[in-house]
Amino acid sequence: MKTNPDCIFCKIVAGEIPACKILEDDVALAFMDIGPVAEGHVLLIPKEHYETISDIPEEPAAAILKKLPQLVAAVQTATGSEGVNVLQNNGTVAGQLVPHVHFHIIPRNPGDKFEYNWPVGEYPEGKMPELADKIKKVISRQ
Ligand code: AMP
Ligand code: ZN
């Protein structure tokens, strides 16, 4: 199993540092976030060390994502939250502090303190299909 001795989440997987665990199988682990954006904030991670989402092979990715619906439902029911955000940051520029892939499951309620800027933009003529073609070409080469 790919592991990184300097990684805080690998240390949690190995039981070297404590975590408040929610669920665990061969591939995935979910535990309480130590610095919750809202009470009930949970992290879902692969047990293997992958830095970003694009590093995870298809099978472990599927095995982790399989856990999301039940986990989100459980967090929402247990906290009684009105909604939930599932967030996943890749790269420092995107707000990733811990370089081991993780999904944030964050309960949301009216008037809570969690805000983010969602700057809705607009494409210049022709740019959207041009970019779509570019992305499709990359996928076809993968
Ligand atoms: P990110 O900024 O997306 O990399 O998020 C990293 C998250 O990991 C933050 O929400 C931290 O509060 C959380 N975190 C860091 N160390 C621990 C730890 N030892 N146990 C639980 N959560 C942690
Ligand atoms: Zn790790």
Cα–Cα distance measured from residue 63 to residue 67, given in angstroms and rounded to the nearest whole number: 7
Residue 22's pLDDT band, with cuts at 50, 70 and 90, is very high
Mean pLDDT of 66-87: 98
pLDDT tens string 107-136: 999 999 998 899 999 999 999 999 999 999
Q: In ligand 1, which atom is closest to the CA atom of 102?
A: 3
Say which residues have a Cβ less than 8 Å from residue 34's Cβ, sequence separation at least 6: none
Q: Kindly list the domain boundaries of the chain, sorted by start residue.
A: 8-117
Q: Report the largest interatomic distance among the alpha carbons of the chain, rounded to a whole angstrom.
A: 54
- Cβ atoms within 10 A of the Cβ of 124, count? 7
Of the chain, the percentage scoring pLDDT greater than 90 comes to: 96
Closest CA to 86 of 70, 64, 103: 103
Tell me the CA–centroid distance for residue 47 and ligand 2, in Å.
8
The reported pLDDT for the residue numbered 116 is 84
Q: In ligand 1, which atom is closest to the CA atom of 89?
A: 3
Residue 104's pLDDT band, with cuts at 50, 70 and 90, is very high
Q: For the purposes of burial, counting CB atoms within 10 Å of the CB of 62, is it exposed (0-12), middle (13-18) or buried (19 or more)?
A: exposed
Q: In ligand 1, which atom is closest to the CA atom of 87?
A: 3
Measured from the alpha carbon of residue 11, the closest ligand is 2
Whole-number average pLDDT of the chain = 97
Among 41, 49, 100, 102, the one annotated catalytic: 102
Ligand 1 binding pocket (C-beta < 6 A) is: 8, 19, 33-35, 43, 89, 95-98
Tell me the CA–centroid distance for residue 123 and ligand 2, in Å.
38
Q: Which residue has the higher pLDDT, 113 or 72?
A: 72
Tell me the CA–centroid distance for residue 113 and ligand 1, in Å.
18
CATH fold for domain 8-117: HIT family, subunit A (3.30.428)
Closest CA to 30 of 67, 85, 78, 83: 67
| Interior angle at CA 35, CA 21 and CA 57, nearest 5 | 55
Closest CA to 28 of 53, 58, 64, 52: 64
pLDDT at 1 over 90: no
pLDDT tens string 31-60: 999 999 999 999 999 999 999 999 999 999
- Catalytic, 102? Answer yes
